[in-house]
Amino acid sequence: MKNVLITGITGQDGAYLAKFLLDKGYKVFGTYRRLSTPNFWRLQYLGIFENIELLPVDLLDSFSIIEAIKIARPVEIYNLAAQSFVGASFEQPLASCEITGLGVVKILEAIRNIAPEVKFYQASTSEMYGDNLYSEQSEDTIFDPSSPYAAAKLYAHNMVKIYRKGYGLFTCTGILFNHESPIRGLEFVTRKITNAVAKISLGLEDYIELGNIEAKRDWGFAPEYIEAMWLMLQQEEPDDYVIATNETHTIKEFLEAAFSRVGLDWGKHVKIDKRFMRPLDVRYLKGNYHKSEIKLGWKPKTSFNQLVNIMLESDLERWSRWKKGEHFAWDAWNYPNEKKILSRKLNLDS
């Protein structure tokens, strides 16, 4: 049995990857941050919590990273841990850069010193391209980050390449475009929309507040992107790959698809609020996954409309169960209303 170590195992990608690898016969070790209220609902929701070996790790603490590698003795490490919400990185730029950027170097140093035979995957992001003018983005497109999160990810992306070339480590990066699912965090606009549409259709809310609904994104289905991560580490040579759908859709299109699914006019239930406008925004992203299709044999299978329906049906089902008094592993019922969350972005225009 092969051992694998996943950082950020409590997130969307970490949970799906853990399930994928368990199904392939791996023994899965996962790192998590110690919090006063543990956040294991995704692992519980997927029914795999009891099958994971959990290790408390702080990515700013090299010793805890080294100890995790010594305990897990992995053949593969997938680094999915990050401060992954772009909006929050403007409010907490130092934390975002330290965790998302420097934390990766601490892992790479640990691998170089105690486990140089380990294969390493780094989760890069399409946000590194920034507000670019290219019709589509590939592995060769110039990066121009537009947020502290994207800048930190680009630093980590470049360090992974340096450790690959300089020390001969097997290090790969997946430049993943937006990928969504029913267990996406509520701070992300897709899940924010499907969760709100479900509540509105069931009479639990009246409207949703959003920022720039004209932004265009390349949205795929997260469980399919997990397979691409694994495929990268099964190749003979390490490399970097774009994982995307080669389609782009506006947030407005996502709204239209979700509201029409429940027979409602989105225009009557959406309010635009400057709180949700970023200081710098990325207006357009569309990934070219040609290299991944040729070298990995990977391509997306789920269409945009199918993705919206999958997410919406899940939120509808969960809120319906909640109304009946059921309790189960899930985030939305206990998530704070955004109207209660103060942000310094409120003062951007004053």
- Taking 70 as the pLDDT cut, the residues of the chain under it are 36-37, 83-91, 278-280, 338-350
With respect to residue 292, please indicate whether it lies within any of the assigned structural domains: no
Which residues, listed in sequence order, are joined to residue 81 by a DSSP beta bridge?
none
Q: Which of 32, 121, 129, 149 is catalytic?
A: 149
| Pair (199, 234) in one structural domain | no
| Pair (153, 213) in one structural domain | no
Q: How far is CA 317 from CA 197, 308, 313, 320, 324, in A?
A: 12, 14, 6, 5, 11
With respect to residue 170, please indicate whether it lies within any of the assigned structural domains: yes
Q: Which of 125, 173, 194, 248 is catalytic?
A: 125
Cα 38 versus chain centre, distance: 19
CB 89 within 8 A of CB 41: no
DSSP state of 61: -
Residue-number span of the structural domain to which 261 is assigned: 189-217+249-285+304-347
- The percent of residues in the chain predicted with pLDDT above 70, rounded, is 92
Q: Going by DSSP bridges, is the β-strand pair 249-250/216-217 parallel, antiparallel, or unpaired? A: antiparallel
With respect to residue 342, please indicate whether it lies within any of the assigned structural domains: yes
With respect to residue 293, please indicate whether it lies within any of the assigned structural domains: no
| Pair (148, 206) in one structural domain | no
| Pair (109, 136) in one structural domain | yes
Does residue 125 have an active-site annotation? yes
With respect to residue 299, please indicate whether it lies within any of the assigned structural domains: no
Q: Going by DSSP bridges, is the β-strand pair 76-79/119-125 parallel, antiparallel, or unpaired? A: parallel
Sequence-separated (6 or more) residues with CB below 8 Å from residue 2: 25, 26, 27, 75, 76
The CATH number given to whatever domain includes residue 40 is: 3.40.50.720
pLDDT for residue 341: 61
| Pair (194, 117) in one structural domain | no
Q: Which of 127, 136, 180, 224 is catalytic?
A: 127
Give residue-wise pLDDT tens across range 145-164. Answer: 988 999 999 999 999 999 99
Instruction: Give residue for tokens 């670019």.
Output: 132
| Pair (84, 102) in one structural domain | yes
Instruction: Give residue for tokens 């990928």.
Output: 179
Does residue 302 have an active-site annotation? no
| Pair (135, 203) in one structural domain | no
| Pair (317, 229) in one structural domain | no
With respect to residue 17, please indicate whether it lies within any of the assigned structural domains: yes
| Pair (10, 35) in one structural domain | yes
Report the number of secondary-structure helices (H) and strands (E) in the chain: 12, 13
Count of domains observed in the chain: 2
The CATH number given to whatever domain includes residue 327 is: 3.90.25.10
| Pair (171, 203) in one structural domain | no
User: pTM of the full predicted structure?
Assistant: 0.93
With respect to residue 290, please indicate whether it lies within any of the assigned structural domains: no
Distance, in Å, from the CA atom of 269 to the CA atom of 267, rounded to the nearest integer, reads 6
pLDDT for residue 346: 38
Instruction: Give the largest Cα separation in the chain, rounded.
Output: 59
Give residue-wise pLDDT tens across range 192-244. Answer: 999 999 999 999 999 999 999 999 999 999 999 999 999 999 999 999 999 99
| Pair (118, 206) in one structural domain | no
Kind and range of the H or E element at 112? helix 103-114
Q: Please provide the DSSP assignment of 228-276 as one string.
A: HHHHHTTSSS--EEEE--S--EEHHHHHHHHHHHTT--GGGSEEE-GGG
With respect to residue 129, please indicate whether it lies within any of the assigned structural domains: yes
| Pair (130, 206) in one structural domain | no
